[in-house]
């Protein structure tokens, strides 16, 4: 417990942590400000004009001749024309809060990765790890203490920011948007979204810390991510596309996407395209499984390495 307390103090005292926290708050502030400035609650007259315009457009759409060369199902669905298309942007809390929560989850994951990697990497490069081992010569406990502190810190930041972000969007909606129907089901769904976002941020932070411990410097964690995206997510994806293999199934980003957005669709269209694509989905549970498994693997590797290798 003493170790965890010291590590948490160290984590939140670090200038990099403060700067990253400031950056996240700033980014959220910009998103909030843009949302607040763009949203505009329509007047009854604007609603009436929009409904009339939508009705006219829909009638014209239905009168139009269908394109006989278009593949089946490729034609425009006239029912998709609504009055909202003719209104200025208005923030709908029910519809957009989950998306805005995704923004927070993404920023929190980035914050977690950088701070997690930095707090462990800097400890190695500054000699702090040696100092700590002279005080607490229990390597596994020491590293797990650091990882726990990183996870706890990211969770605390995420929880606070989540509440603040929810309150901010609520206020913006209160003044300039519409709430929609906020049922119990909506709140339960929003809670699950938040939990999945938090899980992703925690896993990403732990992976960052574990990679920094494996490479014994912050740059190692950053280099691995850059290398992974360049080599695998871009390079190998291109090769797979040439070989007509659906690359998304083999990309971590697909599973991250599934975890964040409830599911990720894998679309396999034949070439030449005949209008019949096979669609399969990666459910969020699979996404969580892959991300959590990867995190566990990295943590075990970091602990194994720390236990075996000399401290230079």
Partner 1 sequence: MSGVPGPVIEIEGLRKVYRGRRGARMALDGLDLMVEVGQVHGFLGPNGSGKTTTLRALLGLVRADAGVTRLFGRDVPKALPQVMPAVGAIVESPQFFGNFTARRTLRLLATVGGIRHNRVDAVLELVGLRDRAKERVRSYSLGMKQRLAVATALLKSPSLLILDEPANGLDPAGIREMRDLLRSLADQGVTVLLSSHILAEVQQVCDHVTIISRGRRVMSGPVVEVLSRFDKGDVQVRVTDLDKAAQLIADAGLPVRVLGDHMVVSDLADPAWITEALAKRKMYVSELTPLLPNLENVFLDLTGTAPTPDGHRQVDDAYRPPDDAALDILDPEPRPEVLVAPVDRPTAGDLEAAPATTAATTAATTDSPGATDDNTSTEDGPASQQDTAVPAQPTGPDAEPEASRTTDDKEASR
Residues at the site binding partner 1, with contacts judged by CB under 8 A: 2-3, 5-6, 9-10, 13-15, 122-123, 126-128, 130-138, 308, 310-311
As measured in angstroms, the least distance from the Cβ of 118 to partner 1 is: 11
CA 117-122-128 angle, to 5 degrees, is: 130
Q: What is the rounded distance in angstroms from the CA atom of residue 172 to the CA atom of residue 35?
A: 8
CA distances from 291 to 9, 202, 251 (A): 28, 10, 11
Separation CA 209–CA 231 (nearest Å): 22
CB 88 within 8 A of CB 45: no
| Whether the Cβ atoms of residue 306 and residue 143 lie closer than 8 Å to each other | yes
Burial class of residue 153 (count of CB atoms within 10 Å of its CB; 0-12, 13-18, 19+): buried
Report the alpha-carbon distance of residue 42 to residue 176 in Å, rounded. Answer: 9
Residue 63 or 308: the one with the smaller Cβ distance to partner 1 is 308
When the beta carbons of 196 and 216 are compared against partner 1, the nearer one is 216
Query: CB atoms < 10 A from the CB of 105, how many?
Result: 23
Residue closer to partner 1 (CB basis): 123 or 248: 123
Give the shortest CB-221-to-partner 1 separation in angstroms.
18
Q: Least distance to partner 1 from the beta carbon of 153, Å?
A: 15
* H or E element, residue 268: strand 263-268
- Our CB check for partner 1 shows the closer of 23 and 122 to be 122
Residue 17 CB, shortest distance to partner 1, in Å, is 11
Measured from the CB atom, the residue of 8 and 164 that comes closer to partner 1 is: 8
| Closer to partner 1 by Cβ: residue 3 or 291 | 3
Residue 76 C-beta: closest distance to partner 1, Å: 59
- Smallest gap, in angstroms, from Cβ of residue 128 to partner 1? 6
């Amino acid at each position: 417990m003493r170790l965890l307390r010291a590590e948490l103090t160290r984590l939140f005292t670090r200038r990099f942590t403060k700067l990253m926290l400031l950056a996240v708050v700033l980014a959220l502030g910009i998103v909030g400000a843009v949302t607040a400035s763009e949203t505009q609650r329509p007047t009854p007259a604007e609603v009436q004009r929009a409904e009339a315009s939508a009705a006219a457009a829909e009638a014209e759409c239905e009168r139009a001749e269908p394109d006989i060369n278009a593949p089946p199902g490729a034609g425009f669905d006239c029912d998709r024309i609504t009055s909202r298309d003719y209104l200025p942007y208005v923030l709908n809390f029910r519809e957009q809060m989950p998306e805005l929560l995704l923004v927070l989850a993404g920023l929190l994951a980035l914050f977690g990765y950088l701070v997690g990697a930095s707090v462990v990497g800097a400890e190695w490069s500054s000699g702090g790890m040696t100092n700590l081992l002279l005080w607490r010569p229990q390597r596994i406990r020491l590293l797990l203490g650091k990882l726990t502190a990183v996870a706890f810190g990211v969770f605390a930041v995420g929880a606070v920011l989540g509440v603040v972000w929810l309150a901010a969007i609520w206020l913006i909606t209160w003044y300039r948007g519409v709430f929609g129907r906020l049922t119990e089901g909506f709140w339960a769904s929003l809670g699950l979204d938040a939990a999945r976002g938090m899980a992703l941020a925690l896993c990403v932070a732990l992976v960052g810390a574990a990679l920094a411990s494996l490479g014994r410097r912050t740059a190692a964690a950053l280099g691995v991510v850059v290398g992974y995206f360049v080599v695998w997510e871009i390079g190998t994806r291109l090769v797979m596309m040439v070989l007509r293999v659906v690359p998304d199934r083999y990309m971590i980003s697909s599973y991250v996407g599934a975890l964040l957005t409830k599911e990720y669709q894998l679309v396999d269209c034949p070439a030449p395209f005949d209008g019949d694509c096979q669609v399969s989905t990666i459910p969020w549970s699979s996404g969580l499984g892959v991300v959590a498994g990867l995190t566990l693997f990295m943590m075990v590797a970091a602990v194994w390495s720390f236990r075996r290798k000399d401290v230079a």
